[in-house]
Each structure stands twice: as C-alpha cells, then as structure tokens.
Amino acid sequence: MRVAIVRLTAMGDVIHTLASMQFIKARIPGIHITWFVEEKFAEILRHNPHIDTIVPVDMHGLKKAPSLSALRAIVHTVKAAGPFDRVIDVQGLIKSAVLARIAGSDVAGLDAASAKEGIATLLYRYTYPVDCAEIAPMRFASLLAQSLGIEITKEMLSNKAPYLYFETDEACRTLDPFFTHDKKNVLVVTGASNASKTYPPEKFTELAELLKEYNLLLVAGSEAERESARAIAENSPATLLPPMSLNTLKYAVAKSDLLIGGDTGPSHMAWAMNRPSILLFGSTPKSMMMETPVNIAITSGAKVHPCRFDKNDRSIATILPKRIAEAVREVLS
C-alpha cells in the first residue's frame, strides 16, 4: 500500500503529525509512506525509519515569487512521486488540498467543520471529523487513523518511542563543549513564530538568575531572535548557543536534561524525543502539546479559544519567572 502524507507546515504540526508514523508502520505491514513537506522543514523528517520517501516542495517560494515555471516544477515533482493508493491531507488548507489532489484522486482529509479552510474539502473523496479542541498529536493521529482504518490512541502516543532522528556530524560536535557534566543542561528557546508566543527577554533574564544552579543554554534562530537572546546572555548566567540547523538542534535537544520555551516548533521537539520540557502558553491553549509527568504546560490563565487564536494576546508575559523556576526544579528533581 502506497500512502502519501501532505503536511507542509508548520514545524510543530509536522513534529506532532510525525508521532503517528511508528504506529501506522506497525499496523499496516509493507506500507510505503511518502511525505510532502515544505523544503525548510524537510530536515525534521530525515533519518526517520518510518518515512520511506520525503518530497520537499517550495510552496513558500512560489507564494513569494509566483511563476509558471516554478508551479510546473512543483506539479512535476508531486506527480513523479506517485502513484498512491491513498493521499491524506493533514493540513486542511486550500494549498495542501490542491497539492494532495495533484498527487492522486483518492484523497482523504478533514471534513468542512474541522478544516481550517472549509472549501479545501471539495477536493477530497473522503472526509473525517476531528475535534479542534483535542490535543495536537491526537488531532493528527485521529485523521490518519480514520483515513487508514486503524486505531491510534492517546495511551499509544503516551508510550511512543522517541521519533526525531539526527546525524551526528561535525556541526553537532561543535556543541559538545557547551554542555556540562557537573550541572543539569537546560535549553531555553527564546523566540517563536509570532510575538504572542514569545516570553519577554527581561523575564527570561530574571528566570536565568533564578536557575543559575543549572547550565542554561539559549537557542535562537533569526537575527532578531539572536539579538534578543544576546541581551539575555549579557545580563545573566545563560549562554547563547551558535546558530544551528534543524539536524543540530535535534542533537542539542537529545543532549539536554530539560527544555523551556513557548508554543513553537523547536520547543515541541522535546516531547517528540522523550525529553522533559516546560512550555509556556499565553495566546494559544495548552492542548497544543501533550502533557506528561515531565512535559509540563504553564499557562497565563487567559481565556483562549481552543480553535481560534488571538495574535494580539500578550498574556504570556504575565507568567512569573518564579513559577517557571519552581516547575523546572520539580521536574529535574
């Protein structure tokens, strides 16, 4: 059976969708899984034994600079990856539905009440309901399971094997000196995809002072994020790690004792790799993660709609550093 998964973005959603692959492979012997993903997130999937073929597509580039030649190249790439017995659009957007329909005619996806862009369902042959208030990994697991006629439960997800893999290359080894053996190593993801998910740098600075018994390592991506992280490092015991690829970031998460961050892709790597984490939520609900005894959500207490998020909500800033520090000590003890 040849199955195509369409989950182009975002990083956290790609990570949470990937959680189901180990169970699909176990329950459907011989299944061949192809995954269509945005180029910049393809590294998340690489080295995973449960994905047979990764097909990166530059939909973001096409949107920024539309051209007929670029469109033709994507269509050719998608068609060449087939044929497929079933195509599953996990994203529920018009762009992902169109790509899924190009990949094959036997397309499954969310029903009109569940999809983010309901019109996308016109391109599906089969549609299934999924509760948007359900925790993120289970939302995607539910759609995949219904589409393939199998069962994936929360208990199964709770007992998953870690599923982000990396190649230990020279770039990874350059991080080794930053990790210590005499202190617990705590990664701090300082940035996020939008301001509503970003904890203020001055509060991260205060948190670093409260946690100075640990080796705090700051993770920042874009230059704007790195500028903010430099300010934290200059005014606290924390150390800013060098820029990293997604492969190197997976290596860093695997070496860490705990990760702190907002509701952003790099933060969700910790749960995927069975590493402890403290995630901070303001404008988004804690259902964006799966909580465990060592994967803790701390919320601002703001009333948040489970399906629609207010990007102007800055309530994450009201979370007290002391509250985060207490949670860190409790988990690491």
What pLDDT does 193 receive? Answer: 85
Question: Do 139 and 183 sit in the same domain of this protein?
Answer: no
Question: Do 145 and 223 sit in the same domain of this protein?
Answer: no
Q: Give the H/E segment covering residue 207.
A: helix 201-210
Q: Of the residues 157, 185, 215, which one is the last residue of a structural domain?
A: 157
Which positions of the chain have pLDDT values less than 50?
none
Question: Do 212 and 322 sit in the same domain of this protein?
Answer: yes
What pLDDT does 313 receive? Answer: 96
Question: Do 128 and 183 sit in the same domain of this protein?
Answer: no
152: left (phi over 0), alpha (psi -120 to 50) or beta: beta
What pLDDT does 226 receive? Answer: 97
Question: Do 188 and 254 sit in the same domain of this protein?
Answer: yes
Question: Do 184 and 291 sit in the same domain of this protein?
Answer: yes
- Could you tell me the CATH number of the domain that includes residue 186? 3.40.50.2000
Question: Do 181 and 209 sit in the same domain of this protein?
Answer: yes
User: Which residue, 110, 154, 150, is CA-closest to 134?
Assistant: 154
User: Which residue, 218, 198, 234, is CA-closest to 314?
Assistant: 198
For 73-108, what is each residue's pLDDT tens digit? 999 999 999 999 999 999 999 999 999 999 999 999
Q: Give the H/E segment covering residue 30.
A: none
Q: Of the residues 103, 126, 157, which one is the last residue of a structural domain?
A: 157
**Which neighbouring-strand residues pair with 54?**
35
Q: What is the Cβ-side half-sphere exposure of residue 72, based on CA atoms within 13 angstroms? A: 3
Question: Do 142 and 185 sit in the same domain of this protein?
Answer: no
Question: Do 220 and 248 sit in the same domain of this protein?
Answer: yes
What pLDDT does 201 receive? Answer: 97
Structural domain including 121 reads: 2-157
Q: Of the residues 129, 157, 185, which one is the last residue of a structural domain?
A: 157
Question: Do 297 and 237 sit in the same domain of this protein?
Answer: yes
Question: Do 201 and 257 sit in the same domain of this protein?
Answer: yes
DSSP state of 298: E
Q: How many domains does the chain have?
A: 2
Cα–Cα dist 201/7, whole Å: 32
Q: Is 186 in a helix, a strand, or coil?
A: strand
Within a domain: 162: no
Question: Do 177 and 288 sit in the same domain of this protein?
Answer: yes
Within a domain: 165: no
CA distances from 291 to 138, 154, 163 (A): 12, 11, 17
